[in-house]
Amino acid sequence: MEIVLAIFGSEGDVRPNLALGRALQNRGHVVRVLASPDSRSLAAAAGLAFQPVGSDVRALMTANARYYIDRPVRATGPMTRALKTDLRRQFRELPGLIGRPDLVIGSGLMLAGSSVAEAIGRPYCHAMFAPVALRSRAHGPVVFPFQRGTPLLNRLLWCLADAGLNLSLRGVLNRSRRRLGLAPVTSVYGHLAARVLLAVDPELAPLPADVAPPCARTGYWHLVSDAGLPPRVERFLDRGPLPVHIGFGSMGDPHGRRTARAVEQAIRWAGVRAVVQAGWAGLQVRESRQVLAVSGRLPHDRLFPHVAAVVHHGGAGTVSTAARAGVPQVLVPHLLDQYYWGRQVHRLGLGPRPLARRNLDPRALAAALREVVDDTGYRRRAAALSVPLRARDGVVEAVRLLPALVAA
């Protein structure tokens, strides 16, 4: 069979899809990845055929960082305008690239995927990596930082989010669908989430009771690294006590120098060793005997088993990888489902309360570092939770579901 993975999102969306794609290809299926141009090197490293579609996500996240860090409540407007521009581009490019595969799996904000699959008469499902993205009275929609209201408030917030999405994107979506010979849709979110493939471990994120069951559910799709750790990282790990890892993944930062100073102060005040990864934020810290600065990518699945704790933005992939490694976590949510993961990590006893990202307080970060290092309960609970997570292979579960997804 031929499967197309159509992705518009950060590395947190791309990496799990590549894990699935590589497993499918190893079983003899033809897999093509259609994703933003900045994903090319990741797809190449996974050995998968790649074609660029849509805008550069890294540039988008960097350009809009000032909104989701400084004014998270107001970030929806600028991000939606950027998404509208990319949606037009998706509809221009995707029909000429998609071919006639047996199945299309979309992810992230690839809003054109479902319509283009419908136009060629092929089944489609949308991969999601957090149940908070599914409509429920138990939580508000991910577009708002405050996702934990009363059932009535959450219902109102979902209505507000639906109205905002429809007002911003439904016109572009339906005009594009009309050019493909398709009927208009009434709800942008309903169109995107019509058939969901949820890839998240139930121990980390149970489904609320009122959530309509997704078309399928598996464990998280971990992309296993082929390469080991760089020699300089190995030497640093061997030189002393377990360090903490600090990095904010695919999140941009308009105040990179200020954040770097806060991180440096927190490391010094907490008295810990640290591996600091620059990421898309460009987090540039000064190296010392206690601090190792890394500018490129690191295989987290190889690194996290050798650290005392992980400080990160709260992406689903980083949460899952750290939980699988059995290490405590300190979350600094920036946007969307990261607020949900911050609450979940704390609720499960894997880390302290999440920290505020705006004007990151070095004293609060230092206190959180000392807490997760000194309180052995965090590591004990993380180690216990890692047992069922390591026993499950979400990629294998997804591959087994393939015939049912194609037949649906």
Find the angle CA(7)-CA(216)-CA(220) to the nearest 5 degrees: 60
On whether both 260 and 281 belong to a single domain, the answer is yes
On whether both 331 and 402 belong to a single domain, the answer is no
Q: Do the beta carbons of residue 197 and residue 105 sit within 8 Å?
A: yes
> For residue 225, is it within any domain?
no
Residue 53, domain CATH: 3.40.50.2000
On whether both 152 and 242 belong to a single domain, the answer is no
Contacts of 363 (CB under 8 A, 6+ apart): 266, 269
On whether both 242 and 363 belong to a single domain, the answer is yes
Side-chain-side CA neighbours of residue 18 (13 Å): 25
Residue-by-residue pLDDT tens, the chain, 408 positions: 999 999 999 999 999 999 999 999 999 999 999 999 999 999 999 999 999 999 888 887 777 777 666 666 666 667 777 888 889 999 999 999 999 999 999 999 899 999 999 999 999 999 999 998 999 998 888 877 776 778 899 999 999 989 988 999 999 999 999 999 999 999 999 998 889 999 999 999 998 888 876 668 899 999 999 889 999 999 999 999 999 999 998 888 887 889 999 999 999 999 999 999 998 888 899 999 999 999 989 999 999 999 999 999 999 999 999 999 999 999 999 888 999 999 999 999 999 999 988 878 999 999 999 999 999 999 999 999 999 999 999 999 999 998 888 886
Supply the pLDDT for residue 35: 96
On whether both 348 and 373 belong to a single domain, the answer is yes
Find the angle CA(359)-CA(362)-CA(363) to the nearest 5 degrees: 120
On whether both 331 and 207 belong to a single domain, the answer is no
Widest distance between CA atoms in the chain: 64
Supply the pLDDT for residue 213: 66
Rounded-to-integer distance, Cα 296 and Cα 352, Å: 28
From 20, 102, 47, select the one nearest 398 (Cα to Cα). 20
Helix count (H) and strand count (E) of the chain? 17, 12
> For residue 226, is it within any domain?
no
The 10 Å Cβ neighbour count of residue 95 is 17
Q: Do the beta carbons of residue 292 and residue 260 sit within 8 Å?
A: no
Structural domain for 175, as ranges: 2-219+392-407
> For residue 224, is it within any domain?
no
How much helix, strand and coil, in percent to the nearest 5, is found in the chain? 50, 15, 35
Phi, psi angle pair for 6, to nearest 5°: -105, 115
Instruction: Determine the residue type at 6.
Output: A
On whether both 314 and 190 belong to a single domain, the answer is no
> For residue 104, is it within any domain?
yes
Supply the pLDDT for residue 282: 86
* Number of structural domains the chain divides into: 2
On whether both 397 and 371 belong to a single domain, the answer is no
Supply the pLDDT for residue 149: 78
Q: Global pTM?
A: 0.94
Rounded-to-integer distance, Cα 296 and Cα 56, Å: 18
> For residue 113, is it within any domain?
yes
Burial letters 273-285, b for 16+ CB under 10 A, else e: bbbbbbbbbebeb
Helix axes 11-26, 394-407, angle to 10 degrees: 80
Q: Look at the chain and count its residues.
A: 408
Residue 103 forms beta bridges with which residues?
A: 3
On whether both 326 and 294 belong to a single domain, the answer is yes
Rounded-to-integer distance, Cα 310 and Cα 369, Å: 9
Burial letters 115-144, b for 16+ CB under 10 A, else e: bbbbbeebbbbbbbbbbbbbbbbbbbbbbb
> For residue 44, is it within any domain?
yes
Distances in Å between the alpha carbon of 355 and those of 58, 100, 306, 328, 359? 24, 46, 24, 15, 10
On whether both 240 and 155 belong to a single domain, the answer is no
Question: What ranges in 208-286 are assigned the alpha helix state H?
Answer: 231-238, 256-270
On whether both 131 and 261 belong to a single domain, the answer is no
On whether both 46 and 148 belong to a single domain, the answer is yes
Rounded-to-integer distance, Cα 408 and Cα 406, Å: 6
Q: Both tokens of residue 230?
A: 């760089």
> For residue 398, is it within any domain?
yes
**DSSP 8-state symbol, 334:** -
Q: Which three-class secondary structure state does DSSP give residue 146?
A: coil
> For residue 314, is it within any domain?
yes
Q: Which three-class secondary structure state does DSSP give residue 246?
A: strand
From 134, 141, 170, 169, select the one nearest 155 (Cα to Cα). 141
